[in-house]
Structure 1
Amino acid sequence: MVKNKNPIIAFLLAFLPGVGLMYLGKVGRGVLFSLTIIGSIPFGYVLNRALWMPEAFVLSIGAGFLLYVVSIIHTALTASKSVQQSEEQTAPLSSERFYTIILSMVPGLGHFQLGLMNRGVTFLASFLGVAAMILFVTFITGTGGFVVFLIILPVIWVYNFFDTMQLLNKKEAGEDLKDRSILEDFEDHHQGGKKSVVLATLLSMFPGAGHLYLGYQRRGVQLMAAFLFSIYILDALRLGIFLFLVPIIWFFSFFDGLQRATRHNKEPMEDEPIVSYFVNHQKWIGIALIFIGIYYPITNIVLPALAPYVNDYFQVNLYNLGQYMQTGIVCALLIIGGVKLLGGSKKKANMGEE
């Protein structure tokens, strides 16, 4: 047994084939696992080239992956044995901490290790239920746009992990843990008028969700609708040139949610909708809608219909013309936006001088 080895570091290093075992002092096993797993790729390639059997390459890769999983499990077991065999008084505590951290990789299992069944079931059911529902709706409707909702899963996972670590630290400090579900915590925060800044930050990863949690209903609904609608409309109308709007909406919603989370309970809450910013600019919104209405039928109906005839008579490929048009439109929009910003800054400067 090798002492003074951190089991958590060993487990993390196990994701590199054999390195975790080498860290624990099992150099021979680590080298064997490393060579076998990494060597499965060139070995399968050689078999495929020699026997002309693609199945041999697939089987070799599959065997290498199986050994990779076995090496991770073997490293975890070896690390846990080293913790259990330690003669230090902190061994039981370190063992529980190790198992809790490892199990917390799956939402809810870390809470089960701590004896919090209700809280663990809430996390596990939420994670699996959301994943199953999103995949089910995506499969039934045949609409890939619903996959965007999978962004909820890392939010649940991160919140589960930090909640497990917080409860583990409380238990190590000698505090009594109450087996309360997440819904009960939310209810207590709601009755007390307090909102969790950490939870609001995590929910802000999905546009509008953090705002809804903080009580900004109109602002949150508009941001969420803008994000989802932009993804759907750009995919349905094949307006790939406007895909840059999606990350802009996401970043605006995320940082706006962070700012409002930090100011919550410190300043009066004002649910100011996003749309109110554009009330005085309805003309530009109308122009944009008309432009989209003209652009879509031209690129998806007119150009494909005329492309064969134009190519036969004029030897011009309209599909390439469509690509050039997309690039030109993006450049024109950027130039117009820049000119508009420069014009606005000059007006403000003149007003300041007056």
Structure 2
Amino acid sequence: MTTPRSKMVALVLNMLPGLGHYYWGRRVRSLLYPLLFFGSLCGGFVLGVMTASEGLFVLGVLAAVFFWGISMLDLFIALLREPRMATVYDEYGRPMQTRGDVREETERFYTILLSFIPGLGHFQLGLMQRGLSFLIAFFGLGTFLVFISVFTNESAFLIFLGVLPIIWLYCMFDVVKLVNRKHEGELLFDRSLFEELEIGREHGRRSKMFATLLSVFPGAGQMYLGLQQRGMQLMILFLGSIYILDEFRLSLFLFLIPLIWCYALFDGLQQASRYGREPLEDRPLIKGGEAQRRWLGIGLITLGIYFVFSTMVLPLIHTLLPDWHLDYQARTYLKTGIVAAILIGGGIKLMTGSRQKVMPPEPLAPEPPSFESGRELGE
């Protein structure tokens, strides 16, 4: 009895060199490639530490990457040369894999493999417009961001390159979904991403795809889906955290930035998946109670006083007393004092927060005697 094996599984497993070869039954290569890969890494690391040379470590990493590429190429060629299997039967004579199953598995394998370059998988399915929109969106955005960064000499624009993995992943999932629909007998329509967005807008529905892409920027996807308060708070929280951490040089709390970004991203993806299946409720992260508004007002007043003092008062003092160097000292101590006051105040607020007092239930008042009960007592 022959056990059917998936080419796609073999290719994914071989991301760890040798594991795909072992799955495909190539025992010698499954031992050779891990030995070369990890041997290059370990050898480069040991030699780099012993000689205190970064060049040997980099050389070991490059050798490991080279052997990884050779392993992937070797397995890819073996998968391409694999002949199409005929019908396989089990011990009871029942067919386990038909020619149609092999044909579908082969088509799925080639389509997903081509989709590693955005758009090519859609071309394989005959969806030229959709594939072209993914191809332009991926490579066009990357080229535009690099051009703008070089032209303006500002590397900050490169942060938006994080959108490219989102487009790539969405393209992969879109190809898998379309291949499955084709094998289920559904008719595929060649619509570009912009045509789907326009069709959804005409029918009064928002595009889940566009909401997913907008969720890369915190709050934008939520606002697109109509969750204005939630999206605005996430956007203010993300941008405000970046500005405050940079202004006060709080490198200790930089871990908050990726945490906020990941929370906003997965919240946007969750809201997009729920859209159309159930009503969305615009729940703000911070409810606008009286206490929250008071603390927000205190924070804005504190920041306003800080900016007035640092941009107007300190330059005037430095002009009048240039030899005292009060500018640098005041800025340093003022930032430290503000941060310390915020941390201490927040800790005290958390420790001595207002607790809701549980009031005992009021005793029930006795019911007045009715006319009938009084008559019964008289009797």
Q: TM-score range by the shorter chain?
A: 0.7 to 0.9
Partner of 1:36 in structure 2?
A: 36
> 1:86 — aligned with what?
85
Task: Spell out the pairing of 1:138-153 with structure 2 (5 A cutoff).
Answer: 138=149, 145-153=156-164
Instruction: Judge conservation of contact 1:127–1:153 (CA < 8 Å) in 2.
Output: yes
Worse-matched range after superposition: 188-197 or 143-152: 143-152
Moved more, 116-125 or 203-212: 203-212
Residue 58 (structure 2) aligns with: 58
CA gap of 1:260–1:32, structure 2 versus 1, over 3 A, is closer
**Which residue number in structure 2 is paired with residue 100 of structure 1?**
111
Alpha-carbon offset, residue 68 of structure 1: 0.8
**Percent pairwise identity:** 38
Provide the residue aligned with 1:332 in structure 2. 345
Aligned-partner Cα distance in 1 for 2:351–2:52: 59
- Distance in 1, matches of 2:178 and 2:268, equals 30
Report the counterpart of residue 166 of structure 2 in structure 1. Answer: 155
SS in 2 for 1:277: coil
Query: Aligned partners of 1:75 and 1:47: how far apart in 2?
Result: 31
- 1:182 Cα deviation from its structure 2 partner: 1.0
Rg (Cα) greater in structure: 2
Compare the two structures and name the one with the higher helix fraction.
1
CA contact (8 A) 1:7 1:80 kept: no
Whole-angstrom distance in 2 between the partners of 1:47 and 1:272: 56
Separation in 2 of the partners of 1:238 and 1:140? Answer: 29
CA positional deviation for 1:14: 0.8
Written as runs of structure 1 = structure 2, the 5 A alignment for 1:85-234 is 85-88=84-87, 89=99, 90-138=101-149, 145-196=156-207, 200=211, 203-216=214-227, 220=231, 223-234=234-245
Provide the C-alpha distance between the structure 1 equivalents of 2:70 and 2:204, rounded to a whole number of angstroms. Answer: 49
Provide the C-alpha distance between the structure 1 equivalents of 2:46 and 2:352, rounded to a whole number of angstroms.
Answer: 60
Any gaps of 5 or more consecutive residues in structure 1? 308-317
**Quick one: structure 1 residues 257 and 93, their matched pair in 2 at CA, closer, same or farther if it must change by over 3 Å?**
closer
TM-aligned CA distance change 1:109 to 1:304, over 3 Å:
farther
1:262 aligns with 2:274: yes
- Per-residue CA shift, 1:71-113, capped at 9, x if unaligned? 112212212332x432241322211101112222332222122
SS where residue 288 of structure 2 aligns?
helix
Q: Which has the higher contact order (CA 8 A, sep 6+)?
A: 1
**How far off its partner does 1:266 sit?**
5.3
Give the letter aligned to residue 106 of structure 2: S
Contact kept in structure 2, 1:207 and 1:254, CA below 8 Å: no
Q: Shift of the alpha carbon at 1:193? A: 1.8
Asked if the contact 1:226/1:249 (under 8 Å) is kept, the reply is no
Which has the higher mean CA deviation after the structures are superposed, 106-115 or 179-188?
Answer: 106-115
Residues 206 and 54 of structure 1, relative CA distance in 2, 3 Å threshold = closer
Match of 2:295 among 284, 292, 297: 284
Name the Cα RMSD after superposition: 4.3
2:21 paired residue number: 21
Other structure's SS at 2:61 match: helix
Q: Contact between 1:241 and 1:326, CA under 8 Å: does it hold in 2?
A: no
Distance (Å, rounded) in 1 between the aligned partners of 2:168 and 2:202: 26
SS of match in other structure, 2:17: coil
Aligned length: 334
- Between the aligned partners of 2:50 and 2:274, the Cα distance in structure 1 is 63
Q: For each residue in 1:17-71, what CA deviation from the matched residue of structure 2 results, as whole angstroms up to 9, or x when unmatched? A: 1221122111112222221222223444566689887645533432331121121
Residues 47, 148 of structure 1: alpha-carbon distance in 2 compared, 3 angstrom cutoff:
closer
What is the CA deviation profile of residues 170-201 of structure 1, one whole-angstrom value per residue up to 9, with x for unaligned ones? Answer: 21123332221011111111111233557645
How far apart are the structure 2 equivalents of 1:230 and 1:93?
50
Report if the CA contact (8 A) 2:218-2:265 is conserved: yes
Query: For residues 362 and 158 of structure 2, what CA distance do their matches in structure 1 show?
Result: 52
CA distance in 2 between counterparts of 1:42 and 1:272 reads 51
Q: Separation in 2 of the partners of 1:329 and 1:215?
A: 33
